[in-house]
Chain A
């Protein structure tokens, strides 16, 4: 039972479900907000920017997360921090992570409600949108990671199919010449764009919080690698089609290029007005993403405070995220400055720097054991 309390949630997810959860992270908000900024930074080389840098950065984050997970296979990240850093330091950092998750949650809430508010329900108070989304997500978080993963098994395949369908319909308007000239200003702008975009790829660091729920822990790395491969293909195709249809300058000045792309689709002047499909499924996907982050935030808070049950932490977390998102990210201007200028740096610290440092300390102090993990797996 000790492991039960350490994990706080007795759910189990398979490696495919883990892969799906990571994919929905990309397919919910990243796909919506990144193309404009990437096109602004990298111009016609967007497709290059989202493939190379992402792969490298994502792989490093993944390796760090998997190695840490292997050392503490039955605990979440915030749970074993005190073991590595000592009680006070560990608790403090765990609390910081709980706050970071809450902050990320508030950004996600803002991302969803700003989008819906801009494109569909512009008279509805954003607070209502926030609340409704958060309520659905909190229900998922309340039911546990297993329920979220299963819901995602319905949402993600349909959404991915629809994206493919949309991109195919848009493909006839692609003008390949929009992707030229290649590397006009050298590699530097592409690298900047890659650095920006890879912060989304680094969301694979949620593995730190999900690792203990994996039923086949030895497949974590495989699932992660599959994720990186698939997500890079997805990002490259999406960015290529968007820039191919609009050109990089027009893409860069749009708020939601994917939504505008769906608006632009017209097949025989009959298959038209598909943008609502995007809104519906992006909302569904964002709810899953929110549920995962609420779950992680709840677990992080509970393990920091030593609660027996993470569920009691959910309500305050949701209230805080909704309030925060209203105050800090209530308008697209505020939200975009967070996503474009703050988030990449925040991500670099939260996703890579701190976990890598923790891993280093764990290795030096010989905390957590590889052999133990191997025993568990066999």
Chain B
């Protein structure tokens, strides 16, 4: 009887102790105590002769909502425009911690969608940034990595034109690029890490280009003339109700009162040698690189059809490429075979007679030549930078490991001497909803 009672007492004590545990756990992080970071920007700055890291974070600002509008989701918290915080530190994580000096909420990196690397930092070496992202348990390999022409802080402060957050806009820009334009080489963290580690392959990532919007009616121009870090005010002004009024006001603004706020485009590719930024590819070169690396899925090839200027345009839809290294005594040749199909999307002055098979055939040849030209330009540019972003070395490693062993130590010197033979075969399969072009009388 006594044993039974003792046991019962023990059980009761255990239950009450365990109940206490139910209240939460050691690692609880309440959502209203978190600074949910959407995008990281890393810059290198010099202070008193010492280089330091300037970290800027674009975080989600959660506004608590009173009333019924925000009920249901997020426990009454709705996301508004992001805001930018900056901090300096000796290392990136040091800077992350230093943000706590001014922000009462701890950084939460689990939602980081993109890491923006400033140009200075990139030229100095990105290994530090990549190691930070790679090591963090929160930042995932899907995170997009981009290099910004200029400072990353400016990129984070830039105004999104369509989405609420510039991180969303940036990621969408990168994601849709291969399908529609193919003018930048997308790279998520995994690909950057693997590009840094793999011998015979260099890192390439999208270039972020900042500019003031030339359009006079741009919503960005409605911002306050002086630069301001909080995008929040901007968001309130951007409400639909205020739009028309602001638009008119903007029209009255003279060009001298140019807004400081910028927008960004993802355009071209940053080329790295090792972990250092060595140069850029422009849009066309990037398109060539996208062809060779089999990442292009859709885009445009304007071409000149029996003319001195580009008078027709071709939209490709499906592209595949095969790269074969051929090793002879003279050196290494890479045979790149590109196959693709698509449609004629423009035919100025009715230069191409779509009813004539010979014309179509000739047009296809012009397209092929143009695409090959893109590829050759990309290769020539990368060869001048010594940077094998196509992974040709890796390809040789995989197809001919014995030969790779001989050359792998001098691959960076060998790469510029490699011959690349590009053969493109594009077919015109569609001409839009018309056949013949409009002929003006």
Contacts and interface: CB of A to CB of B under 8 A. Distances in A.
B105 interface: no
A253 interface: yes
Given A120-B27, A121-B26, A250 B194 contact: yes
B27 A123 contact: yes
A156 B137 CA distance: 27
B294 to A, nearest CB: 11
B194 A247 contact: yes
A250 B397 contact: no
Contacts of B142: 263-264, 266, 272
Contacts of B27: 120-124
Interface residues of A, number: 24
A250 B401 contact: no
Interface string B385-411: 000000000000111010000000000
Given A250-B197, A266-B142, 16 more contacts: A118-B137, A121-B25, A122-B27, A128-B26, A177-B398, A181-B401, A184-B401, A247-B197, A249-B194, A249-B197, A250-B190, A250-B194, A260-B141, A263-B142, A264-B141, A264-B142
B233 interface: no
B319 to A, nearest CB: 18
A246 interface: yes
Given A121-B25, A123-B26, A125-B26, A181 B197 contact: no
Interface of B: 25-27, 137, 140-142, 175, 190, 193-194, 197-198, 397-399, 401
23 contacts: A119-B137, A120-B27, A121-B27, A122-B27, A123-B27, A124-B25, A124-B26, A124-B27, A128-B26, A177-B398, A180-B399, A184-B401, A246-B190, A246-B194, A247-B197, A249-B198, A250-B190, A250-B194, A260-B141, A263-B142, A264-B140, A264-B190, A272-B142
Contacts of A119: 137
Nearest to B193: A250
Contacts of B194: 246-247, 249-250
B115 to A, nearest CB: 16
Contacts of A122: 27, 137
Contacts of B175: 269
Interface in A120-161: 120-125, 128
A225 to B, nearest CB: 36
A263 B140 contact: yes
Contacts of A120: 27
A180 B140 contact: no
Which of B27, B141, B197, B399 has the largest number of chain A CB atoms within 10 A?
Answer: B141
Interface string A164-179: 0000000000000100
B197 A253 contact: yes
Contacts of A266: 142
Nearest to A263: B140
A103 B143 CA distance: 40
A125 B27 CA distance: 10
A260 B194 CA distance: 14
9 smallest A-B Cβ distances: which pairs?
A124-B26, A180-B398, A181-B401, A249-B197, A184-B401, A121-B27, A123-B27, A263-B140, A264-B141
Contacts of B25: 121, 124
Contacts of B399: 180-181
B21 to A, nearest CB: 9
